[in-house]
Chains A and B, each alone.
Chain A
Amino acid sequence: MNAGLAWSDWLGLLGQFMLLSVMSVSGAIGTVPDMHRYLVDRHHWLSDIQFNACVTIAQSSPGPNTLFVALMGWNVGLNAGGGLAAGPSAWLLGLLGLLITMVGILLPSSLITYNAARWGQRNRHRRSVRAFKQGMAPLVVGLLLATGWILVRNGADPLRPWGVWIVAGLSALLVWRTRIHLLWLLGAGALAGAFGLV
């Protein structure tokens, strides 16, 4: 890994993530291939293993998936400072990286959404605004089903692919038809996985 980043590098990182923010129509997860090209292939600021770990950890942690971006920034800074063992100076650089990537990925999209939503709320009686909101509603149902579908397929164990489909189907049925607390379901899924059932 590299040692040290110049100010122009940090600015470049900020600019790149701000650019990705504007393009992240399907959420930050849709820009992962572009992030990989920038952080791993072009600048070698992260290794392939580190990059994948960032995405996986954020997926298995509570909260918005976008937090994988924070982990990437943290690791870029840590690497620049010589790794976790290098002490507080590296940790500070990690925090700087975290701040830069999170502000970069969140600020532009948040400003756009905030202003567009305000405009829409002020003009909610306009025929065009109503048509847009109501016209998109059936699409939302299809997109959510597709998101779940893709998550199941990508998470399947190649040796026993049906396990995750059964668990996902049961989970969908229970959440749809009952008011069972979601944490119970996640706990059951974790147990089933830990004992090798999925």
Chain B
Amino acid sequence: MTAPPPLPFPDSAVPTVRPASLAELFMAFNWMALQGFGGVLTVVQREVVERRRWLAPEEFIEEWAVAQVMPGPNVINLGLMLGDRFFGWRGAVTALLGLLTVPLVLVMCLGLVYGRFQDNAQVAGALRGMSAVAAGMIMATALKLLPALRRHPLGVPFCIGIAIASFVAIALVRVPLLAVLLLVGGLSCWLTWRKLLP
């Protein structure tokens, strides 16, 4: 790719930039992975959208949707897609290695020392506290993505209805994800398709 791709939403307000080099891409994803306890998404949204401005919020939510629907870990999928978008397959591999290399070493070290501390109540409590914070971060990310729906073809109230329906189905009714993606997602895509000009 020679030029940055145009924004899929019309007249998005946020100008975006590209990473300067593969090294910057690697370090960025490495840094994001190391900050992400119990999931990397919150950090990715902060770094990619708010700090580095590689993607506009509207682009981020769309790319995330694709990363979520594709098989494989969401954050890794997003890394592959972003890396490819900026540097082709070399970028995809670089982002993947950036996300995995150092955290893999860390998790192996943790695994090796785990046996010594697994029965310590304070360690278990600290892990519980950290995972609660991490869960809150994921919910905050959802709230931060809401403004990206302002220009959505279906309108804001309908979008919120879809969001609530999928939340209830997954979190409260425990419907399998695949069914929600096919039914709620299919309906939403079909309605959007009808609203978009051919």
Cβ–Cβ contact B189 & A62, under 8 A: no
CA distance A70 to B76 in the complex (A): 15
The count of A-to-B residue pairs whose CB atoms sit within 8 angstroms is 367
Cβ–Cβ contact A25 & B177, under 8 A: yes
Main secondary structure of the interface of B (DSSP, over half): helix
- Chain A residues contacting B43 (CB-CB under 8 Å) are 182
- Chain B residues contacting A149 (CB-CB under 8 Å) are 135, 139, 167, 171
Cβ–Cβ contact A61 & B103, under 8 A: yes
- Chain A residues contacting B149 (CB-CB under 8 Å) are 137-138, 141
> Residue of B at shortest CB range from A109?
B72
The verdict on A182 contacting B107 (CB below 8 Å), with A60-B127, A63-B40 known, is no
A139 interface residue (CB < 8 Å to B): yes
Question: In the complex, how many residues of chain B place their beta carbon closer than 8 angstroms to a beta carbon of chain A?
Answer: 107
> Residue of A at shortest CB range from B136?
A171
Q: Mark A173-198, 1 if CB is under 8 A from B, else 0.
A: 11110010011011011111111111
A26 interface residue (CB < 8 Å to B): yes
Say which residue of A112, A135, A195 sits within 8 Å of B188 (CB atoms). A135
B17 interface residue (CB < 8 Å to A): no
CB distance from A120 to the nearest CB of B (A): 6
Q: Using a CB-CB cutoff of 8 Å, which residues 122-148 of chain A contact chain B? A: 124, 127-128, 130-148
Interface residues of B (CB under 8 A from A): 5, 8, 33-43, 46, 50, 61-62, 64-77, 80-81, 84-85, 89, 92, 96, 99-100, 102-104, 106-108, 110-112, 114, 118, 122-146, 148-149, 152-154, 158-160, 162-167, 170-171, 177-178, 180-181, 184-185, 188-193, 196-198
